[in-house]
């Protein structure tokens, strides 16, 4: 999702020649899409932003006003701040684990697998996404439960105590990475594919160990893609709803479920809207911040 | 706006254009809503088995087979409520009827999105249990929050809500998050003996959470699973659910609490701005039809709101409450609940926050 | 192959088996679970049965939900193609100021959580109805708009990735030979980025099909998506019916994927 890396990677040297007909790349081509997003997303969000400034009343529900009280409520209440913090660190952790697990698999698919096997493996990685969160978390419930599959499996080795995975951060992280890994692997795979194999072969012929090749050649070149995949996973995780609700349980509060609760259960639309914007703002700041930081370091390396 | 003035003409022309465009473009994609047929009734209901039973016992035999066309808007109740409340702004409701529980019905009435019922159009209403009636609500199936216990593990169940605080039940009680305000009421009942003492009940509830450590499940199926695999031996939930679990094979007993069970009533309301009120009234009357009620009671194990329901004595003894039990039943003070439910949810979240 | 190369390959294979196994684990369980005879979903299985499939077939909610989801996601993908292909072109080939801003705008639906986007859209539709009388909330159009918003960023993301690696020199050569811009697009560029377009369509479709949160406020009478039908079902029963539904749905779509792979090697798409 990071913007600048999309365009700074593989541009042909020297840029396009002066004679390029403008019509091929004219901004007009993007206009229908922009209008669509403006109407479908930006206008509704603007309306929601306006609502976040309204006043909530148990009897009237939403009363028109211009008040910062909903935002102040968030900043004054450590409970909701705790919810936000928990969302952030769980997203960070899930993204990190996806990265660690995704890099080897993506590299494997890019370098060590023949074409037919790769197509089948890609399908195998994508298909579980189709299950949908509702049913997938039900499956995880069965697996992670204190009396579930994993417990039975571990019982074969003599471990008989409760697992404590359901309704815990560990369980939620497991559920999240189950969804995020395919996205990470696919993103990383396309990046690895685009890295010239010759560079790695050159390193090998010079006697570098594989780890050195990865560390000094492949990963630095793949950095934009790694960033892109991580940003994607982080955002998906920050916005996660079904997994925290169904695996985390009623005592495990994360931002998106809390927004839903405010909007649909408590009917406190102003506060729900405020929470939504705080969530989006934090997600944006963190992802843009990290992207900028990484790109600044990347530019230093390539200079 | 003065009729015939330039402004009104311009607006109405624009409106006409808009409607024409809408009219040509939309029917293709909105097949059923296009014709507001005489016998079309749009119903907002829960999905899954609940809807299944509604269709099987009410909608199919009494409406669809008689020529009515039933359109269903299915979903969970928070969304359905939120949608109906939002639609107030445009003074249109996408459904004629909405299936809700009695507390939600009160809130919806207060917000002006459901109408008072014209009882002359619902002959069966006259038979309904008196305690459940309300001018804006058609009671349908009801139950109470009781003490459900595993018969194999518990020989002497707690006889009242108050007994749950006894240390011997520590770690053995299961609760469902969906019923949070029932538990608050329960604590208030134990503290002060009435249904408006949640504030007095809060410290008691904190004590329960701190000392007896009840297990909190997200949904009632998980509570069922907890009873099945021995995580908990006692569940505080609707009698109907306990009976369903027993039917599924668990060895359970039901204990009616001394204080009187906290009642829950499911039923339907007529929306204020719905399109087809006459069809809606036919539907409402059909809901209370004795044969339909009998089938529903047997299938769902909830008590029928119409005592004339044609159920066997056995079934009645199982699902319904004795007149004494019904007299002792505790009904929510809906105004009190509506006023406080938001702050209670917040308190509940914070007290149980993991 | 040298021993270092062999052990490296072994390490990668082992890790990949583990990770891919982890990803596939829920799928394996769902299919397995759909045959359990336990009345409520639990482990271990008490026996096996096909009853759940029969039950799923009888519930029209799931059948209707599947077809509605399929239809909506396909239309959303087509919308994403129509809007996203030209937009990707502008973003990659264009040299105008504000390109980054436009990219951010077009990707923004991804940042917005489904619940937020869906509820905001619903309220917005009601405002529009208030002002114009057009009834969009709860209709198929409203749902399609929402799903197109889900699909569009994915399409753009994947097509731009593909388009970037295609040097414009080929297109310029074609232009200099006299081809009009549309000809260039359809005869020169599109065949080369075909894989990217297919990848974009796949991801657009999948993400739209599995959506739950954005659709929650936007479904209306007689129109429920499959995911919502499943979660409605789960509110009352926790049994293998959902396993049966999921298995059938996944089976059908996997078939679609395999057919797509036959015509466009998926390995080139990513």
Query: Binning pLDDT at 50, 70 and 90, where does residue C151 land?
Result: very high
Q: How far is the alpha carbon of A142 from chain C, nearest alpha carbon, in Å?
A: 6
State whether B248 and B280 are in the same domain: no
CATH number, position C176: 1.10.3720.10
Tell me, yes or no, whether A257 lies in a domain: no
pLDDT reading at C98 higher than 90: no
Interface test with B, best of C223, C229, C241 (most B CBs within 10 A): C223
DSSP state of B330: B
Containing structural domain, residue C205: 59-269
Chain C residue with the nearest C-alpha to that of B43: C221
Q: Give mean pLDDT, residues C96-115.
A: 90
Q: What is the 3-state secondary structure (H, E, C) of C157-215?
A: HHHHHHHHCCCCHHHHHHHHCCCCHHHHHHHHHHHHHHHHHHHHHHHHHHHHHCCCCCC
Percentage with pLDDT > 70 across chain B: 89
Q: Which of A140-144, B30-34, B202-206, C11-15 has the lowest mean pLDDT?
A: B30-34
* Whole-number average pLDDT of chain C: 90
Whether the ω angle into residue C44 lies within 30 degrees of 0, i.e. cis, is yes
State whether B40 and B83 are in the same domain: yes
Which pair of structure tokens corresponds to residue A24?
A: 């091929």
Containing structural domain, residue B290: 34-141+264-327
Q: Count of CB atoms within 10 A of residue B319's CB?
A: 23
Containing structural domain, residue A122: 89-250
Find residue A63's DSSP bridge partners. Answer: A55
CATH number, position B117: 3.40.190.10
Q: B47–C130: do the CB atoms touch at under 8 Å?
A: no
> Could you give the dihedral angle defined by the CA atoms of residues C128, C133, C137 and C142, in that order, rounded to the nearest 10 degrees?
-80
Query: CB–CB of A30/C90 below 8 Å?
Result: yes
pLDDT reading at B298 higher than 90: yes
State whether B124 and B200 are in the same domain: no
Residues of chain B with Cβ-Cβ distance to A141 below 8 Å are: 222
* Dist. CA A2–CA A22, nearest whole Å: 26
Tell me, yes or no, whether B270 lies in a domain: yes
State whether B299 and B208 are in the same domain: no
Tell me, yes or no, whether A144 lies in a domain: yes
* Chain position carrying tokens 């249109």: B92
Q: What is the pLDDT of residue A146?
A: 82
Cα–Cα distances (Å) from C92 to C148, C153, C214, in that order, read 21, 15, 29
Residues of chain A with Cβ-Cβ distance to B231 below 8 Å are: 146
Q: What is the pLDDT of residue A20?
A: 47
Query: Binning pLDDT at 50, 70 and 90, where does residue B128 land?
Result: very high
Q: C235–B51: do the CB atoms touch at under 8 Å?
A: no
Tell me, yes or no, whether B128 lies in a domain: yes
End-to-end alpha carbon distance in chain A: 24
Query: CB–CB of A271/A56 below 8 Å?
Result: yes
Chain C residue with the nearest C-alpha to that of A113: C13
Tell me, yes or no, whether A226 lies in a domain: yes
Spell out, as residue ranges, where chain A has pLDDT lower than 50: 1-12, 14-22
Q: Count of CB atoms within 10 A of residue B346's CB?
A: 18
pLDDT reading at B27 higher than 50: no
Tell me, yes or no, whether C30 lies in a domain: no
CA angle C237, A268, B349 (to 5 degrees): 60
Query: Binning pLDDT at 50, 70 and 90, where does residue C196 land?
Result: confident
Which residues neighbour A67 within 8 Å (Cβ) at sequence distance 6 or greater?
Answer: A53, A54, A55
Of B105, B144, B102, give the one whose Cα is nearest residue B328: B144
Q: What is the pLDDT of residue A80?
A: 95
Q: Count of CB atoms within 10 A of residue A4's CB?
A: 14
Q: Tell me, what's the ipTM?
A: 0.91
State whether B156 and B257 are in the same domain: yes
| B275: contact with C, CB 8 A cutoff | no
Helix/strand/coil for A303: coil
What's the domain count of chain C? 1
* Chain position carrying tokens 């959580």: C113
* Chain position carrying tokens 């047997």: B298
Query: CB–CB of B284/B119 below 8 Å?
Result: no
Q: Give mean pLDDT, residues C67-88.
A: 96
| Closest partner CB to B82 (pick from A167, A253, A264) | A264
pLDDT reading at C228 higher than 90: yes
Q: What would you report as the CA-atom Rg of chain C, rounded to the nearest whole angstrom?
A: 23
Q: What is the pLDDT of residue B157?
A: 93
Interface test with A, best of C45, C113, C252 (most A CBs within 10 A): C113
Q: What is the pLDDT of residue B15?
A: 54
* Dist. CA A277–CA A163, nearest whole Å: 36
Q: What is the pLDDT of residue A195?
A: 87
Tell me, yes or no, whether C95 lies in a domain: yes
Q: Give mean pLDDT, residues B162-171.
A: 92
What's the domain count of chain B? 2
Tell me, yes or no, whether A40 lies in a domain: no
pLDDT reading at B284 higher than 60: yes
Of A177, A196, A203, give the one whose Cα is nearest residue A110: A196
Q: C164–A7: do the CB atoms touch at under 8 Å?
A: yes
Torsion angles phi and psi, residue C193, rounded to 5: -95, 15
Q: What is the pLDDT of residue A302?
A: 56
Find residue B253's DSSP bridge partners. Answer: B149
Tell me, yes or no, whether B26 lies in a domain: no
* Whole-number average pLDDT of chain B: 87
Query: CB–CB of B206/B350 below 8 Å?
Result: no
Query: Binning pLDDT at 50, 70 and 90, where does residue C126 land?
Result: very high
What sign has the CA pseudo-torsion A126, A131, A134, A136? Answer: negative
Helix/strand/coil for B174: strand
Tell me, yes or no, whether C174 lies in a domain: yes
Q: What is the pLDDT of residue B28?
A: 46
Q: Give mean pLDDT, residues C112-121.
A: 94
* Dist. CA B129–CA B139, nearest whole Å: 9
H or E segment at B41? strand B40-45
Residues of chain B with Cβ-Cβ distance to C120 below 8 Å are: none
Residues of chain A with Cβ-Cβ distance to C102 below 8 Å are: 27, 30, 34
Which burial class, exposed, middle or buried, applies to C6 when counting CB atoms under 10 A from its CB (0-12, 13-18, 19+)?
exposed
Tell me, yes or no, whether C29 lies in a domain: no
Q: What is the pLDDT of residue A299?
A: 72
| B101: contact with C, CB 8 A cutoff | no
Tell me, yes or no, whether A296 lies in a domain: no
Tell me, yes or no, whether C196 lies in a domain: yes
Task: Show the DSSP H helices in chain B as ranges.
Answer: 6-25, 31-34, 48-54, 60-62, 77-87, 102-110, 180-192, 198-207, 220-228, 239-247, 277-287, 290-300, 313-319, 323-328, 334-352
Residues of chain C with Cβ-Cβ distance to B29 below 8 Å are: 139-141, 144
| Closest partner CB to C130 (pick from B90, B219, B249) | B90
Q: How far is the alpha carbon of C233 from chain B, nearest alpha carbon, in Å?
A: 4
Which pair of structure tokens corresponds to residue C106?
A: 């077009």
What's the domain count of chain A? 1
DSSP state of A112: S
CATH number, position A192: 1.10.3720.10
Query: CB–CB of C245/A274 below 8 Å?
Result: no
Tell me, yes or no, whether C23 lies in a domain: no
Tell me, yes or no, whether C232 lies in a domain: yes
State whether B162 and B248 are in the same domain: yes
State whether B180 and B252 are in the same domain: yes
The whole model's pTM is what? 0.89
């Amino acid at each position: 999702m990071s913007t600048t890396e999309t365009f700074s990677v593989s541009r042909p040297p020297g840029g396009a020649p002066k004679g390029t007909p403008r019509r091929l790349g004219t901004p007009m081509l993007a206009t229908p899409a922009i209008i669509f997003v403006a109407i479908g997303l930006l206008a509704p969000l603007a309306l929601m932003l306006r609502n976040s400034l309204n006043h909530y009343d148990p009897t009237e529900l939403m009363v028109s006003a211009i008040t910062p009280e909903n935002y102040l409520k968030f900043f004054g209440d450590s409970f909701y701040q705790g919810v936000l913090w928990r969302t952030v660190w769980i997203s960070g952790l899930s993204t990190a684990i996806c990265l660690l697990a995704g890099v080897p698999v993506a590299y494997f698919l890019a370098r060590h697998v023949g074409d037919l096997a790769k197509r089948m493996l890609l399908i195998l990685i994508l298909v579980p996404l189709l299950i949908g969160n509702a049913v997938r978390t039900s499956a995880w419930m069965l697996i992670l439960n204190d009396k579930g599959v994993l417990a039975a499996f571990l019982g074969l080795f003599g471990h008989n105590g409760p697992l404590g995975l359901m309704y815990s951060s560990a369980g939620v992280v497991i559920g999240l990475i189950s969804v995020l890994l395919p996205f990470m692997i696919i993103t990383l795979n396309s990046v690895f594919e685009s890295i010239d194999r010759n560079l790695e072969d050159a390193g090998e012929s010079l006697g570098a160990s594989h780890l050195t090749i990865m560390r000094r050649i492949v990963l630095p070149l793949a950095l934009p893609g790694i960033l892109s995949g991580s940003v994607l996973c982080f955002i998906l995780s920050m916005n996660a709803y079904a997994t925290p609700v169904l695996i985390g349980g009623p005592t495990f509060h994360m931002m998106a479920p809390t927004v839903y609760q405010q909007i649909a259960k408590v009917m406190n639309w102003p506060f729900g809207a405020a929470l939504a914007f705080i969530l989006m703002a934090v997600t944006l700041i963190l992802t843009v911040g990290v992207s900028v930081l990484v790109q600044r370091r990347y530019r230093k390396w390539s200079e | 706006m003065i009729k015939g003035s330039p402004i009104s003409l311009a607006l109405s022309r624009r409106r006409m254009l808009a409607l024409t465009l809408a009219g040509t473009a939309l029917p293709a994609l909105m097949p059923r809503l296009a014709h507001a047929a005489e016998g079309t009734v749009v119903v907002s209901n829960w999905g899954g088995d609940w809807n299944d039973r509604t269709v099987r016992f009410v909608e199919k035999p009494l409406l669809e087979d008689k020529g009515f066309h039933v359109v269903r808007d299915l979903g969970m109740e928070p969304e359905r409520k939120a949608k109906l409340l939002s639609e107030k702004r445009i003074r249109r409701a996408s459904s004629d009827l909405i299936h809700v529980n009695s507390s939600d019905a009160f809130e919806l009435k207060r917000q002006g999105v459901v109408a008072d019922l014209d009882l002359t159009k619902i002959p069966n209403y006259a038979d309904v249990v008196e305690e459940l009636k309300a001018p804006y609500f058609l009671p349908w199936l009801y139950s109470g929050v009781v003490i459900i216990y595993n018969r194999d593990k518990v020989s002497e169940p707690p006889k009242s809500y108050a007994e749950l605080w006894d240390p011997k039940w520590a770690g053995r009680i299961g609760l469902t998050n969906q019923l949070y305000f029932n538990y608050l009421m329960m604590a208030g009942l134990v503290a002060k003996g009435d249904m408006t003492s949640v504030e007095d009940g809060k410290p008691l509830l904190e004590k329960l959470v701190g000392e007896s450590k009840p297990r909190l499940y997200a949904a009632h199926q998980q509570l069922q699973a907890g009873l099945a695999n021995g995580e908990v031996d006692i569940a505080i939930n609707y009698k109907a659910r306990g009976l369903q679990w027993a039917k599924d094979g668990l060895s359970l007993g039901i204990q009616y609490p001394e204080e009187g069970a906290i009642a829950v009533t499911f039923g339907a309301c007529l929306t204020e701005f719905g399109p087809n009120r006459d069809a809606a009234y036919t539907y409402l009357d059909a809901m209370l039809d004795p044969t339909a009620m009998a089938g529903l009671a047997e299938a769902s194990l909830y008590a029928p709101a119409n005592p004339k329901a044609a159920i066997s004595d056995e079934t009645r003894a199982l699902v319904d409450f004795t007149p004494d039990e019904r007299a002792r039943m505790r009904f929510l003070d809906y105004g009190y609940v509506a006023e406080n439910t938001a702050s209670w949810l917040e308190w509940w979240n914070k007290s149980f926050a993991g | 192959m040298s021993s270092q190369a062999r052990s490296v390959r072994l390490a990668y294979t082992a890790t990949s088996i583990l990770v891919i196994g982890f990803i596939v684990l829920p799928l394996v369980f769902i299919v397995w679970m759909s045959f359990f005879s336990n009345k409520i979903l639990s482990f271990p299985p008490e026996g096996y049965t096909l009853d759940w499939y029969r039950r799923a077939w009888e519930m029209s909610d799931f059948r209707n939900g599947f077809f509605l989801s399929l239809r909506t996601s396909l239309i959303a993908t087509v919308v994403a193609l129509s809007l996203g292909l030209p937009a990707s072109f502008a973003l990659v080939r264009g040299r105008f100021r504000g390109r980054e801003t436009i990219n951010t705008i077009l990707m923004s639906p991804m940042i917005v959580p489904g619940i937020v986007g869906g509820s905001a859209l619903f309220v917005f539709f009601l405002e529009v109805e208030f002002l114009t009388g057009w009834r969009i909330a709860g209709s198929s159009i409203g749902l399609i708009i929402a799903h197109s918003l889900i699909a569009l960023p994915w399409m753009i993301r994947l097509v731009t990735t593909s388009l970037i690696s295609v040097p414009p020199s080929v297109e310029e050569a074609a232009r200099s030979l006299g081809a009009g811009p549309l000809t260039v697009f359809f005869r020169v560029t599109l065949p080369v980025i075909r894989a990217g377009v297919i990848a974009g369509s796949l991801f657009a479709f999948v993400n739209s099909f599995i959506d739950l949160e954005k659709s929650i406020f936007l479904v209306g009478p007689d129109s429920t998506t499959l995911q919502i039908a499943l979660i409605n079902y789960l509110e009352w029963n926790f049994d293998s019916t959902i396993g049966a539904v999921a298995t059938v749905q996944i089976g059908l779509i996997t078939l679609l994927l395999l057919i797509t792979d036959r015509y466009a090697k998926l390995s080139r798409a990513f």
